Amino acid sequence: MPGSENYLQDFLNYLRVERNLAKNTQQAYLDDLEDFWKFLAQKKIADPGKIDHKILTDYARDLKKRKMAETSVARHFSSLRAYYRFLVMEGHLATDPTQFLDSPKLPSSLPKILSIEDIELLLNAIDTETPLGLRDRALFELMYAAGMRVSEVCSLTSEQILLDEDLLLVRGKGNKERIVPLGEEAKKWLLEYLEHGRPQLTKRYFAEGIIFLNNRGQALQRKGIWFILKKLAEKAGLNKPVSPHTFRHSFATHLLEGGADLRIVQEMLGHVDISTTQIYTHLDSTYLKEVHSSFHPRARK
């Protein structure tokens, strides 16, 4: 957008340095803003200070004409709000034109979780007599024990495993670090894999200390983990959608069901905002209602 390049670069520096956002997140902001600049170019508007509510409303209509999903529209609006708040914060604008911009109402959906029994079924379906089986058992035990994202487990290195302290140093979004307990079962299978599985997978490739390798000795990728989990769910006879992120959701929910403090769960998940973690309290309250309905003598007539 003519006349706003310096503002945009300052904004991207702000996202990178002050908010410490991951490169993918920075790029998502940039993509959304560039889409808006194209729309403004059609309107022959070159000054970001000339934006008003009518222009934003026209842009919303334009997005809907393109049959963009409401989730994508909401993301575009979120990017615009962040950019214009930044301009006001830096003194480039006196008022924020996006302050009255209404995002589409999105259906609230709770994350899918596995029961403790489902987790046991999945883990016990793994053939641990092979190097790849030992890897898979250690991998999913770790994801469930530490609530790790699939990207975090793919990039896990030996220096992040603090075995003597039973802890993991997890590097999350924006390269932010957090400490998470390892747990006895995860530690047991991780040691089995490191001693008897990984040495047989390490071949002519050098994976720079990466823990989880594929059958070619290279770092296991997220697509590989998705494929492994899909086959494992079929083998275990689980007739429900399962993804790597399901382990993370299950980790958080089972902790809260067991009485863990919400702030502690937030810390272990690496959530910056506790409101992100609070979605699991809805899951927890659903579980509590089910228990109350099943066992309280006056819950049912």
Task: Give 89-143 pLDDT, tens digit per residue.
Answer: 888 888 888 887 776 665 555 567 888 899 999 999 999 999 999 999 999 999 9
- Among candidate residues 112, 173, 178, 188, the one labeled active-site is 173
Q: Is 204 a catalytic residue?
A: no
pLDDT 10s digits, 43-60: 888 776 678 888 888 898
- Among candidate residues 245, 282, 289, 292, the one labeled active-site is 245
Q: How far apart are CA 252 and CA 268, in angstroms?
A: 9
Q: Is 149 a catalytic residue?
A: yes
Note whether 228 and 126 are within 8 A (CB). Answer: no
Note whether 156 and 248 are within 8 A (CB). Answer: no
Residue with more model confidence, 110 or 212: 212
- Among candidate residues 29, 59, 84, 280, the one labeled active-site is 280
pLDDT band at 180 (very low <50, low <70, confident <90, very high): confident
pLDDT 10s digits, 143-158: 998 888 899 999 999 9
Q: Given this model, what pLDDT does residue 93 score?
A: 84
Q: Which domains does the chain have, with CATH numbers?
A: 5-89 (1.10.150.130), 116-293 (1.10.443.10)
Q: Give the residue among 49, 36, 29 at the shortest CA–CA distance from 1.
A: 36
Q: Is 280 a catalytic residue?
A: yes
Query: What percent of the chain shows pLDDT beyond 90?
Result: 27
Note whether 33 and 51 are within 8 A (CB). Answer: no
- Among candidate residues 135, 187, 248, 254, the one labeled active-site is 248
Q: How far apart are CA 247 and CA 147, in angstroms?
A: 7
Q: How far is C-alpha 11 from the chain's CA centre? A: 23
177's CB contacts (< 8 A; 6+ apart) are 169, 170, 171
Q: Is 144 a catalytic residue?
A: no
- Among candidate residues 76, 135, 149, 187, the one labeled active-site is 149
Reply yes or no on whether the pLDDT at 178 is more than 90: no
* Conformational region of residue 270, where left means phi above 0, alpha means psi within -120 to 50, and beta covers everything else: left
Q: Is 105 a catalytic residue?
A: no
Q: Given this model, what pLDDT does residue 233 score?
A: 93
**Amino acid occupying residue 153:** V
Q: Given this model, what pLDDT does residue 2 score?
A: 36
Q: Is 173 a catalytic residue?
A: yes
* Mean pLDDT over each residue of the chain, to the nearest integer: 82
E strand intervals along the chain: 161-162, 167-171, 177-181
Radius of gyration of the chain (CA): 24
Angle at which helix 131-146 crosses helix 244-257, to 10 degrees, equals 50
Provide the token pair at 134.
Answer: 């030992």
Q: Given this model, what pLDDT does residue 1 score?
A: 41
Global pTM reads 0.59
